Structure 1
Amino acid sequence: MAISKDQFKQGMRRLGGAVNIVTAADGGVWAGLTATAVTSLSAEPPRLLVCINRQGVTYDIVSKGRTLGVNVLGTAHKGLAMRFAGMDGEEETERFSGGDWFTAKSGAPLLNGALVSFDCTVESILDAGSHAIVIGNIEAVEIGASDVLDPLCYLDGKWGTFQNLG
């Protein structure tokens, strides 16, 4: 028996995750979105994967520009996470007026002050239903200040952080 779309969404809301802003560039056009579907893939070669909705502008920019930035957010970035999740109505290409962004070697926008940012070129894109699995070759890693390790997390529709690590 197949599960419904609503059952799937309800179940996945209980799978907490780190909050990231995924960015891309194609020429002078930047786009980005908030995602929790980001994970490491391999250390040799260094790769990660991101799952992105194929209906969005960011997917189009990733596909054309073949760049990918993954910015891991701290709790201080909650407002940016909400903005890049579309909660303020800004289009995916207009969300960069908030935050301190710079252009990475690949051309992807990276966030100054992120816990860590990964600058990637796109190795491959696999169709997976409504989303695509984007595999990125990590070209550079920008590690933020080690005294600010307060990652932003998302669980059951709520923003929060890890507590009692250690």
Structure 2
Amino acid sequence: MLNAREFRAAMAKLPSGVCVITTNGPAGRGGFTASAVCSVTDSPPTVLVCMNRLSVQRETFANNGVLCVNVLAGDQGDVSLAFSQSAREGTAKRFETGLWTEVNHGLPALRGALVSLACRVTNTVEVGSHNVLFSEVDAVIDSPVESGLVYFKRAYCHPAPIG
């Protein structure tokens, strides 16, 4: 049977876009860095986000029921790092990195991100150590930025667009 260390080493070779997932609402603001984000369907427009069940952010997201997927631009590695820091840094400190605006009733959207998706969580499924948050997209905040941030072999990369 494959062990967790071997699996993580294999998955490090899968390039992933880097996102900061944010929320705001009755339970307050929250956010975390995620690379396990993908589209599910376009009808209705739905994405999934994987969140560690041990995260101190879990209850905030569950109680707010909304989130914003901020797909990071190539120059936003500092934002990723700020939102991947341990809980002792505090949520407010995380939002000191980057420039933020509010969309859809107060959801934090990162200025200069490739795209931000304002979403409602419609279903949560527990799988192993993570919760998978299925979320319907209510609004897309696009930008002219063309270079994204990618995580590959445990490092940030800035791929150049082809064509």
Q: TM-score, normalised by structure 1?
A: 0.91
Structure 1 pair 28/131, CA: closer, same or farther in 2 (3 Å)?
Answer: closer
Structure 1 pair 89/77, CA: closer, same or farther in 2 (3 Å)?
Answer: farther
Q: Measure the CA separation in 2 of the matches of 1:130 and 1:13.
A: 18
- Matched position secondary structure for 2:162: coil
Match of 1:100 in 2: 99
Structure 1 pair 61/152, CA: closer, same or farther in 2 (3 Å)?
Answer: same
- CA RMSD after TM alignment: 1.8
1:155 to 149, 152, 156: 152
Match of 2:65 in 1: 66
Deviates most, 96-105 or 10-19: 96-105
Q: Measure the CA separation in 1 of the matches of 2:128 and 2:27.
A: 29
Structure 1 pair 103/124, CA: closer, same or farther in 2 (3 Å)?
Answer: same
Provide, for residues 57-112 of structure 1, a one-character-per-residue CA deviation record: whole Å limited to 9, x for no partner: 22211111001110001111011111111179623453101111122215321111
Deviates most, 79-88 or 119-128: 79-88
Match of 1:115 in 2: 114
- Matched position secondary structure for 1:7: helix
- Matched position secondary structure for 1:74: coil
Amino acid at match of 1:103: E
Amino acid at match of 1:154: Y
* Structure 1 unaligned regions, length at least 5: none
Percent identity reads 30
* Structure 2 unaligned regions, length at least 5: none
Structure 1 pair 164/107, CA: closer, same or farther in 2 (3 Å)?
Answer: closer
Q: Measure the CA separation in 1 of the matches of 2:111 and 2:142.
A: 10
Structure 1 pair 164/21, CA: closer, same or farther in 2 (3 Å)?
Answer: closer
Whether the 8 Å contact between 2:20 and 2:31 is mirrored in structure 1 is: yes
Amino acid at match of 2:153: D
Q: Measure the CA separation in 2 of the matches of 1:6 and 1:158.
A: 17
Amino acid at match of 1:7: E
* Poorly superposed stretches of 4+, deviation over 6 Å: none
Q: Measure the CA separation in 1 of the matches of 2:69 and 2:55.
A: 17
Q: Measure the CA separation in 2 of the matches of 1:51 and 1:164.
A: 27
Amino acid at match of 1:129: G
Q: Measure the CA separation in 1 of the matches of 2:161 and 2:46.
A: 30
Whether the 8 Å contact between 2:27 and 2:60 is mirrored in structure 1 is: no
Q: TM-score, normalised by structure 2?
A: 0.92
